[in-house]
Amino acid sequence: MDLVTTLFADDASPRAAATSNRTAPDPEFAWRVLEEIDYGLILVNPEGRFQHANHLARHELARARYLRIEGSTVTSMSAGQSDELARGIRSAARGRRQMLSLRQGSDRLSVACIPLFQPYEGESASVLLMLARRTGTQNLAVSFFAREHRLSPTEEAVLRSLCDGLDVLDIATAHGVCESTVRTQVRSLRDKTDSNSIRQLVQRVAALPPVVPCGLRGQSASQSAW
């Protein structure tokens, strides 16, 4: 069962039967959903053969830092990690969710292998690879949060830096200002957002919906679907 079938399969419940006369969404919307999520998402079959990817995942594959397409198969950058990825995909196809950590020097990319079927349906025809969000990327949710709390552009920039894991000294050095200036902006952030600490503020931002900026959307889903 592929993703489109999974998302739009008929529900056999009485409630679904009562509303069966409603028009079902076009399957194209399933692919559009993937493009609106701020995580890299790749569909593969149980053997790891590429089926579909949203624009963030295509970018990651093009970088070929942790993942790449060799022939028509999604692999990693070393034989050992490629074997680990293949095992994770096969396990997910049999219904066992997996979490992998691909390495490139001191950097890591977490990848979740998700089966797209119910246990009673047998083996999955597709496995979803969900990539961890990379730091340093645009995040529309942060912009919405900044607008909601009327943050200044400078305060929003400081907030993004905090969410990327930088401390006050790092931010001050990066922007060529004194630590006291950044601390003043942090206090203003906490006051405007009614947050008791930087940690609480960052946690609130991390919990925001993963919305993709319009300018970062990829091609239409039909152009990249298999």
The residues near 73 (Cβ < 8 Å, ≥ 6 apart) are: 44, 47, 48, 49, 50
Mean pLDDT by 10 residues, the chain (226 residues): 50 47 64 78 95 91 94 94 96 93 91 82 82 68 90 94 92 94 96 94 86 54 35
pLDDT value at position 4?
53
Q: Which pLDDT belongs to residue 226?
A: 26
CATH of 140-206, one of 1.10.10.10, 3.40.50.300, 3.30.2130.10, 1.20.140.10: 1.10.10.10
Provide the greatest CA pair distance for the chain. 65
CA dihedral 171, 173, 176, 180 (to 10 degrees): 70
d(CA 45, CA 39): 20
Pull the structure tokens for residue 192. 């405007």
Claim: this prediction has a pTM higher than 0.85: no
pLDDT, residue 11, reads: 47
Alpha helices (H) along the chain: 3-8, 14-18, 28-35, 55-63, 79-93, 140-148, 153-163, 168-175, 179-193, 198-206, 221-224
All CATH 1.10.10.10 domain ranges in the chain, comma separated: 140-206
Separation CA 4–CA 28 (nearest Å): 8
State how far the alpha carbon of 115 is from the alpha carbons of 34, 122, 174, in Å.
Answer: 16, 11, 42
* Nearest-5° Cα angle at 114, 23 to 204: 85
Model pLDDT, residue 38:
79
Q: Which tokens is 27 given?
A: 């399957």
Residues of the chain with CATH 3.30.450.20: 3-133
CATH label, 3-133, candidates 3.40.630.30, 3.90.550.10, 3.30.450.20, 3.40.190.10: 3.30.450.20
